[in-house]
Amino acid sequence: MKNASRRFSFMFSIIKRQNQTSNEDDIELKENSDALFIENEKLIVHYDKQLGTGVCSAVYRGFLSGLAPLAKLSSLVDAQKFRDCEVAVKHALHFGDHEVEQLFREIEAMKILEYDRNVISMLGWRMINDKPAIVFELAQGDLLRYVKMQKLKVKQEIPFKTIISILWQIAKGMEFIASKSIVHRDLAARNVLLTNDFQAKISDFGLAVINNTDLKGTTLVKKFPVRWMSIEAIAEKLFSEKSDVWAFGILMFEVFSLGQDPYEGIETRQILRFLRSGERLSRPELATNEMYEMMCRCWEENLETRPKFEELVAKLHDVLEDESGYSKYYDELELLQEEKESDTANENNSVALEVLDDNSL
């Protein structure tokens, strides 16, 4: 525990220097993070059961004994289920400034969010081999993998009701996140996890920022998911709920194209010019006119005319409530197919983070 405490103090000094926090913020940040700390004997990590890996971290299956720190901190009844449970352990592969900042961003955001059924819950954190590890509730897959699997089915077998339900849940989760003055900045199909009963959970808050106004710039982050970013985010590094709404529109494109990369065939440095000329992504083959219109509204250049998540939640709920909507959905797709031959979606690995600097735009 002494080594962990020393390592925490080292991380804390770095993040304090980077963010230039006030003394009051220093105290609150340290208290929040300490309260979420998991004792060594409470966590077992199964390194032979890797769930995924990225540039900066790997995720393993694990088991948490006793009551999770989140459940101790939260007064919500739903949070009390996190006791003696299987978990996902996100373990940093390196220990540099970037990993430290991402750790603290996630801890800060998750402490504010506490619990929502459509946001992945951070149960706690600890140090493993002198590197930070974050413990999350366990999900069974991610949305990007799920929609790519639908390519194996004929159109009539694709469960559009489930897909619309997932989109509605994501919009609800993002509405909750926005209500807490958090901007996610990395909303994409790869960062939405799914349970076995298709409950959607927004994850990966490593790029999240906390504020109640539009947010401009950052002190450390050099890489952003450019293909999911709004015009003002690319050009001015200006982030808000409305830039997350733009990303939600890109996520809808991913879903209805069954996992196609956004702006396929367009170089990253050409995307801003493409968007400013008024061009947008084409309608995916599996999107009805209603769904594509919703995407295009998310991609309005003027922030004021873009919908808020509250409006998107209501519209998607209306689609879900329409009992006859799904037979009509298939019929409209057939009609659109006859009107215009659509290109088949290609199998591609998703482009995640790309360097964002003035020379590339």
Per-residue pLDDT tens over the stretch 128-141: 887 778 999 999 99
Catalytic residue among 78, 130, 142, 186: 186
Which pTM value belongs to this model? 0.85
In DSSP notation, 333-352 reads HHHHHHHSPPPPPPP-PPP-
| CA of residue 29 relative to chain centroid, distance | 23
Give ∠ CA 159-293-117 in degrees, rounded to 5. Answer: 50
Per-residue pLDDT tens over the stretch 20-34: 444 554 445 455 567
Name, in order, each residue with C-beta under 8 angstroms of 311's C-beta and a sequence gap of 6 or more: none
Name, in order, each residue with C-beta under 8 angstroms of 306's C-beta and a sequence gap of 6 or more: 242, 245, 246, 297, 298, 299, 300
What six digits make up the tokens of 348? 């591609």
Confidence at residue 211, expressed as pLDDT on a 0 to 100 scale = 72
Scanning 185-308, the segments in alpha helix (DSSP H) are: 231-236, 241-256, 271-276, 289-298
Confidence at residue 212, expressed as pLDDT on a 0 to 100 scale = 52
Is 186 labeled as catalytic in the residue annotation?
A: yes
Residue 99's CB is within 10 A of a number of other CB atoms, namely 18
The answer to whether the CB of 260 falls within 8 A of the CB of 284 is yes
What six digits make up the tokens of 264? 């396929």
Per-residue pLDDT tens over the stretch 210-238: 875 555 554 445 578 999 999 999 999 99
Name, in order, each residue with C-beta under 8 angstroms of 305's C-beta and a sequence gap of 6 or more: 297
Per-residue pLDDT tens over the stretch 139-157: 999 999 999 999 999 888 8
Domains by residue range for the chain, with CATH: 2-137 (3.30.200.20), 141-360 (1.10.510.10)
